[in-house]
Structures are given as C-alpha cells and as structure tokens.
C-alpha cells in the first residue's frame, strides 16, 4: 500500500509516521527560511477547524498547506478548500495526497502555486473563511493582505508564533499592543483562541504557537482611507516610546501641526500610540494638516 493511502476509515488524516513518509517520498526537507513546521497530530488539526467555526457552507482558503495535514481536516467539514502554497515541490504533490486519501473530496479542492502576498484572486467560490498554519516569519503581512484582498472572508483562524498571537489580540494599554494589533482591529474583532504545544509539529519549532480568531466587522466609520489611517498607525509606533506629539511630527509636518491634529481629534497629545484604539487613529487621520 502506498504512503498516501489511508488504512482505516479515520486514517485519511496525516499522523507523524505519514508526514515523515510523505516527506521522504517527495524529497521534502522543511526549511526555516519558509517557516515550515508540519502538524503531525490529527486531534490538533481538527481542533483548529472547530476553533475556526468551519461549517459545511464554508469555502475556506488555506495559506501554506505544506503536506496537507490541515487541508484534509478542512475537507472533512468545508464545502470547498483552496490552498495557496509557495513551494513548488509541496504544491506538486498536495493534489495527489488529497485525491488518494479523500477521493470523494478531490473536486472540492483547488491549489494555487503562489506567494500568498501576491494573490489577488482565487479559483472556486469566494472564500468565507481563512484557516491557516501561517509561516511565522510572514504571518502578519500575509494575514493583513488576505483580509484586505478578500472581503468575503468572514471568519479567520490562524496558528502563529505565540508572541505574534499576543500582539494581534492585544488591547490598548497592553505593553505588546502595536501595529499588528491596530491593523487587525481595522478588519475584525480579534481574540486569542488557544495555545498549541511544540510536540505536534515536525520538525518541532523553537517557539510556542497560539491560535488567533478574527471575526470580520465593518471598519471604523471615517472620512479617511485605510491607507491614511495605517500611515498614522505606522508613524505612532515607529517611535513608540515618544508622545504622540513627537511621534507624529514627521507625519503632520511638525510637532505643532501634530498637536493641532490631535487636539482636533479630541486626543491628548501627551499620550503614546499604545493607548489608542483604531477608531482614535482614524480620527487623527481625518485631521491631518493640509500641506502648505
């Protein structure tokens, strides 16, 4: 029997032996450069699917499917799964693994060979959910790109480095609250959805992992564009230990102009960026001084 064929009704999911066997058969060597750590535990991938609230109505987009551990668990439940994979070797073999282990779902699966940061359209139905074990080194930009590019995504569940999960879910006033926190809040209600141990991965990473849930919401009501608001956020946290008056001086044109904009937005110029909500950043963006 080949390494891609299940041996019991439940064994279409990939366990540790399956992952190692597939990797050896395909000549796959996980690289740190691409943050490749494959999940080897069926209970963990099913837990991720449950935490993502995936239903039979969902069209799911998965980023970085690797050898297919999470992909197969998603196909158990979802109406359709589209996986985005940057590694040509992994991308070449994943459809075969899906067809071999879950032949009844082969037609419900699409694969896109691409850098997720460059994806602007997807085959199949518009995605309603994003569920992914994101490569740690690009997790935040990939997440924000997908949320911006595909507004049909209503629910997101990502597994990221624990520290990144803390930053994404942090609230104003928290010491790790920063650019990822504010920008994620532009799109969604964000919260931690659990922790994942190192022993469910091969190879085991040197850091702990965390689950983050994002439920889409309307962005703040503002006359400023997303880009304009994000420019304020970037400026405020580029020098996060400085007061907003000082940190936003370059953005506004001068410290005095920054203070004027803050006053117009109803925000104390002595505060730091880490104390502000996304709505407050939007208010500041609305009052950017006109260039003379």
Binding annotation: 37, 39, 64, 85, 115, 133
What is the end-to-end Cα distance of the chain in Å, rounded? 74
Nearest CA to 169 out of 126, 140, 142, 141 is that of 140
3-state SS track over 201-238: EECCCCCCEEEEEEEECCCCCCCCCHHHHHHHHHHHHH
How far is Cα of residue 62 from the mean position of the Cα atoms in its chain? 10
Annotated binding site for S-adenosyl-L-methionine: 37, 39, 64, 85, 115, 133
- Kindly provide the residue ranges of all beta strands, DSSP E only, lying in the chain, ordered along the sequence: 38-39, 59-63, 80-85, 109-113, 129-133, 155-161, 188-196, 201-202, 209-216
In whole angstroms, what is the distance from residue 74 CA to residue 71 CA? 5
CB burial string 129-156: b at 16+ within 10 A, e below: bbbbbbbbebbbebbbbbbeebeebbbb
The CA-based diameter of the chain, rounded to the nearest angstrom, is 74
Inter-residue contact 94 to 112 (CB < 8 Å) = no
Taking a C-beta distance cutoff of 8 angstroms, is the pair 176, 197 a contact? no
Helix axes 88-101, 69-77, angle to 10 degrees: 40
């Amino acid at each position: 029997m080949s390494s891609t064929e299940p041996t019991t009704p439940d064994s279409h999911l990939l366990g540790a032996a399956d992952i190692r066997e597939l990797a050896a058969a395909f000549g796959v060597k996980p690289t740190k450069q691409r943050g490749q750590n494959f999940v080897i535990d069926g209970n963990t991938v099913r837990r991720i699917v449950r935490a993502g609230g995936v239903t039979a109505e969902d069209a799911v987009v998965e980023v970085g499917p690797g050898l297919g551990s999470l992909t197969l668990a998603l196909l158990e439940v979802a109406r359709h799964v589209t996986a985005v994979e940057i590694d040509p070797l992994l991308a070449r073999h994943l459809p075969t693994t899906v067809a071999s282990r879950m032949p009844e779902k082969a037609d419900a699966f699409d694969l896109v060979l691409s850098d997720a940061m460059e994806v602007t359209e997807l085959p199949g139905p518009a995605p309603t959910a994003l569920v992914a074990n994101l490569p740690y080194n690009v997790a935040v930009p990939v997440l924000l790109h997908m949320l911006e590019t595909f507004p049909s995504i209503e629910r997101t569940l990502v597994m990221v480095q624990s520290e990144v999960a803390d930053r994404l879910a942090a609230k104003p006033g928290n010491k790790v609250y920063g650019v990822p926190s504010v920008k994620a809040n532009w799109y969604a209600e964000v919260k931690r959805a659990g922790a994942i141990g190192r022993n469910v991965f091969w190879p085991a990473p040197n850091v702990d992992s965390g689950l983050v849930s994002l439920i889409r919401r309307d962005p703040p009501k503002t006359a400023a564009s997303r880009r304009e608001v994000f420019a304020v956020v970037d400026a405020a946290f580029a020098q996060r230990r400085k007061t907003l008056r000082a940190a936003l001086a370059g953005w506004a044109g001068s410290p005095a102009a920054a203070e004027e904009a803050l006053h117009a937005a109803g925000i104390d110029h002595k505060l730091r960026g880490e104390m502000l909500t996304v709505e407050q950043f939007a208010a500041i963006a609305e009052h950017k001084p006109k260039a003379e």
